[in-house]
Amino acid sequence: MKRWLVASLMVTVWSGCSGEPPAPAATVPPLASGIDRSSFDTTIRPQDDLFGHVNGTWLARTEIPADKSSFGTIDRVADQSRENLRAIAEAAGRSTSRVAGSDAQKIGDFYDSFMNEARVNELGITPLRGELARIDGLRTKADLARYFARMYKLNLTNPIVGYVDADAQQPSVDTLYLYQGGLGLPDRDYYFKAEPEIVAYREQYVAFLTTMLTLAGQSTPAASAADILALETRLAGAHWTRVESRDAVKTYNRRSLAQLAQESPGFDWTAWATELGVEDAAWLVVSQPGFLTAFAATVNELPVDRWKPYLRAQLLNGFAPYVSQPFVDAEFAFYGTALRGVTENEPRWKRAVGAMDRNLGELLGKLYVERHFTPAAKARMAQLVENMRAAFKEGIDTLAWMSPETRAQAQEKLAKFRAKIGYPERWRDYSRVEIASDDLVGNLTRAFLAEHDYQLGKVGRPVNPDEWSMTPPTVNAYYNPTRNEIVFPAGILQPPFFNPEADDAVNYGGIGVVIGHEMGHGFDDQGRRFDATGALRDWWAARDAEEYTKRAALLVSQYGEFEPLAGLKVNGELTLGENIGDLTGTVLAHRAYRISLRGQPAPTIEGLTGDQRFFFGLAQVWQTKMRDDAMRQRVLTNSHSPAMYRANGPVRNVQAFYDTFGVKPGDRLFLPPDQRAIIW
């Protein structure tokens, strides 16, 4: 179905038809440009800084809210989703006809248990006393191994973390992926870098741990905090870097429990696996084998009692937002203020809605889509996806550098992309999760354990293709390489990403770029290593792989020159996959927009050409302002480039941007043709 048929359908809906004669064409409401010109700074030329041109006035007049580390388009859309979720939760809480065990009862009582601050403060740390006693009672290395498994199931920071998904070499079967963990600071570099800011974070972390242990009545809190930092530093020394951990081949290491015990002796893998319920798994997949070996050696060397302060601290840290106010304040002072520069915690209702979305996500999401996501929006989004697929197909067909053999397999993979839009076809069953109105920690504990029992119960079983990894209200999207699927929750399908009342140009510049970004992940430097079935295998002709790598290297060097804070540059290798996604999304979305015009000139709306609206729409969805501490953490740990480079970075490589704005040598966004990354 061609793009113009969807546009025609939307005009029909707006015109209306209920037996009346059709309205004259002149009365059909015109499509809006979808561009907010009030945010523009016309003293900044788009040729020099597209992001600043579109968002400069907004940046100058906007103060980041006290409860946020950054603020912009995504935050506004997410805030609207949370307001909608709050209304659902409060309505459930007010309902007088709730039946025990019903969706309304679980939602209403979970929300009430979080919002009853007086009750939470009255209980203090009491809800954690049983877990603290469990830690105190650990005696043997087998006990310790079992408790690490329990920490996994309670979502607590611990050295061995993981997730369940399709096996990358047998994508029809789910397996458990294990990867390195155990750190209370954001990344291994925070334990070793000598920059004054990083040293200060370490000092503040020790102070935070001391406060938490003091509040819990633990003995020698300062000495214990110092020991915890030393222990975590040892773990951090064995961590792979984030760049190393991006490698899809090097991080796929299938192991049986017997092999784990042989390669990483000193840790009771049987006790750990039995506690998790995966003792009968034929294999697991280990992302960083060297870390597990180092961790096992550390467990073997240190007495059980040396681990107990660490275990207590991670328990207190993990549950701090859900117990009495002194713990809430201490946790926020470090993770909110010290690390991200946020000066005020979120209102309690926002924290309640966030916790509910994370733990009863599809229960809440079902009600969300009933109220806020229409079948018409889903249908239009589905058509946009297919238009983008057609644009990608055309691009692959015309790639001069790709051989016919590789091109055929690339087309097969593209054709087999499964698009999931809005919400799951089948909803999760939460009947086994008991929720009480006066037991917040208990509600969370039961939800955590139920979720992990569900996830771990899938290990070794056939993949359920209908499952989602995000909840419907989430303002985000993703690509899953082992399932070869692109997924767009209802939450992101709102203006300015997706605006049914706006002209096509801004929708292609918004949600079209998002769609293309996720498609691009299927063919980024790691996603390209998975085939059409989701299997991790090399399907590229050697010369094609070499040419791809050469083109991608241009992006590594380009983004490596961006410097959001003095002395702090973007890591072009860490962000390569996302940068390829952004570039691919931009190229595909613009191509799809041009195809949608069917050879006709784009209308000029509000004085803007179609191509101008496309690029302005792209820049306005990345409208963001970020605090310096948060920016530092993002650059050091996040695979996404800062927002301004997600607008300015891709367009330097897109000829249509040069044509639209007359970009020429001397303009800041100009790149000589031989330095432009042209991949898809």
- pLDDT (tens digit per residue) in 276-291: 999 999 999 999 999 9
Which has the higher per-residue pLDDT, 377 or 15? 377
What mean pLDDT is predicted for residues 52-66? Answer: 98
Asked whether the predicted pLDDT for residue 54 surpasses 80, the reply is: yes
d(CA 48, CA 276): 55
572-581 average pLDDT score: 98
Residue ranges with strand state E in 260-347: 284-286
Chain centroid to CA 91: how far?
29
The whole-angstrom separation of Cα 343 and Cα 67 is 6
pLDDT digits (tens, 9 = 90+) for 72-88: 999 999 999 999 999 99
* Cis previous bond, 496, omega within 30: yes
- At 75, which amino acid appears? D
In the numeric block, which tokens belong to residue 450? 């139920």
* Nearest-5° Cα angle at 437, 434 to 443: 40
β 253-255/284-286 pair status: antiparallel
Contacts of 365 (CB under 8 A, 6+ apart): 357, 423, 471, 472, 473, 490
Contact 603, 491 (CB under 8 A): no
pLDDT at 502: 87
| High-pLDDT (> 70) share of the chain, % | 95
| Contact assessment for residue 180 and residue 240, using Cβ atoms and an 8 Å cutoff | yes
- Using the structure block, give the residue that is written with the tokens 């898809």: 680
Distances (CA, A) of 216 to 132, 211, 316, 333, 440: 10, 9, 8, 17, 18
Strand partners, 254: 285
- State the average pLDDT for the chain: 94
Range with lowest mean pLDDT among 4-8, 102-106, 361-365, 419-423: 4-8
Cα–Cα separations (whole angstroms), residue 195 to 569, 630, 664: 14, 16, 39
The count of other CB atoms within 10 Å of the CB of residue 404 is 7
Q: Which of 489, 492, 522 is nearest to 510 (CA)?
A: 492
In the chain, what is the greatest distance between 2 CA atoms, to the nearest angstrom?
A: 85
- Give the whole-angstrom CA distance, residue 221 versus residue 227: 10
> Is residue 9 scored above 70 in pLDDT?
no
Q: Assign 90 to helix, strand or coil.
A: helix
Strand partners, 608: 605
**What is the band of 389 on the pLDDT scale with cuts at 50, 70, 90?**
very high
The pLDDT, as a whole number, for residue 31 is 66
- Check: CB of residue 632 under 8 Å from CB of residue 615: no
In the chain, the N- to C-terminal Cα span, in Å, equals: 23
- The residues near 389 (Cβ < 8 Å, ≥ 6 apart) are 414, 415, 417, 519
> In this predicted model, what pLDDT tens digit does every residue of 595-640 receive, in sequence order?
999 999 999 999 999 999 999 999 999 999 999 999 999 999 999 9
Q: Tell me: the pLDDT tens digits for 642-664? A: 999 999 999 999 999 999 999 99
pLDDT at 30: 56
3-class secondary structure, 426: coil
Q: What CA dihedral angle connects 54, 60, 65 and 68, to 10 degrees? A: 60
- Taking the CA atoms of the chain, what radius of gyration do you get in angstroms? 26
Where are the alpha helices (H) located in 216-288, listed in sequence order?
A: 221-238, 257-263, 269-276
Residue 16 predicted with pLDDT over 90: no
Using the structure block, give the residue that is written with the tokens 């007086």: 118
The full set of domains in the chain, from first to last, is 37-62+374-424+468-675 (3.40.390.10), 126-358 (1.10.1380.10)
- Under a CB-based contact definition with an 8 Å cutoff, are residues 472 and 368 in contact? yes
Mean pLDDT, rounded, for 573-597: 97
Neighbours of 410 (CB within 10 A): 26
Question: Is the pLDDT assigned to residue 96 strictly greater than 60?
Answer: yes
User: Rounded distance, CA 311 to CA 135, Å?
Assistant: 7
Exposure string over 386-398, b if 16+ CB within 10 A, otherwise e: bbbbbbbeebbee
CB 166, CB 174: distance < 8 Å: yes
Q: How far is CA 237 from CA 110, 178, 232, 240, 499, in A?
A: 40, 18, 9, 8, 48
Q: What Cα–Cα distance (Å) separates residue 458 from each residue in 429, 453, 466?
A: 15, 9, 14
Query: Which one, of 94, 74, 89, 73, lies nearest residue 354 by Cα?
Result: 89
Indicate whether 13 pLDDT > 50. Answer: no
Worst-scoring range by mean pLDDT, 18-32, 56-70, 169-183, 356-370?
18-32
With tokens 């820049």, the residue in question is 619
pLDDT at 5 over 90: no
**Of residues 166 and 27, which shows the higher confidence score?**
166
Give the single-character DSSP code of 564. Answer: S
Q: Determine how many CB atoms are found less than 10 A away from the CB of residue 168.
A: 22
User: Exposure of 500 by Cβ count < 10 A (0-12 exposed, 13-18 middle, 19+ buried)?
Assistant: middle
> What residue ranges in 426-560 does DSSP mark as E strands?
478-480, 485-489
Supply the pLDDT for residue 98: 81
- Measured between alpha carbons, how far is 191 from 201 in angstroms, rounded to an integer? 9
Please state, in angstroms and rounded to a whole number, the distance separating the CA atoms of residues 566 and 540.
Answer: 40
**Spatial distance between the Cα atoms of 338 and 361, rounded to a whole number of angstroms:** 30
- Rounded distance between C-alpha atoms, residue 25 and residue 54, angstroms: 33
- In this predicted structure, the answer to whether residue 257 has a pLDDT above a threshold of 60 is yes
Judge whether 61 and 38 are in contact, CB under 8 Å: no
User: Mapping DSSP to helix (H, G, I), strand (E, B) and coil, where does residue 91 land?
Assistant: helix
Task: State how far the Cα of 53 lies from the Cα of 59, in Å rounded to an integer.
Answer: 10
Instruction: Residue 581: count other Cβ atoms within 10 Å of its Cβ.
Output: 28
Q: What is the DSSP letter of 483?
A: T
pLDDT at 15: 26
Residues 192-242 pLDDT 10s: 999 999 999 999 999 999 999 999 999 999 999 999 999 999 999 999 999
SS3 (DSSP) at 72: strand
- Mark 328-361 as b/e (b = at least 16 C-beta within 10 Å): bebbbbbbbbbbbbbeebbeebbbbbbbbbebbb
The identity of residue 61, as a single letter, is: R
Q: What is the reported pLDDT for 76?
A: 96
Structure tokens at 552: 């991608």
Report the C-alpha gap between 672 and 655 in whole angstroms.
Answer: 11
pLDDT digits (tens, 9 = 90+) for 134-173: 999 999 999 999 999 999 999 999 999 999 999 999 999 9
- Mean pLDDT, to the nearest integer, of 44-71? 98
Quote the tokens at residue 116.
């009853």
What is d(CA 394, CA 403) in angstroms, rounded to the nearest whole number?
A: 15
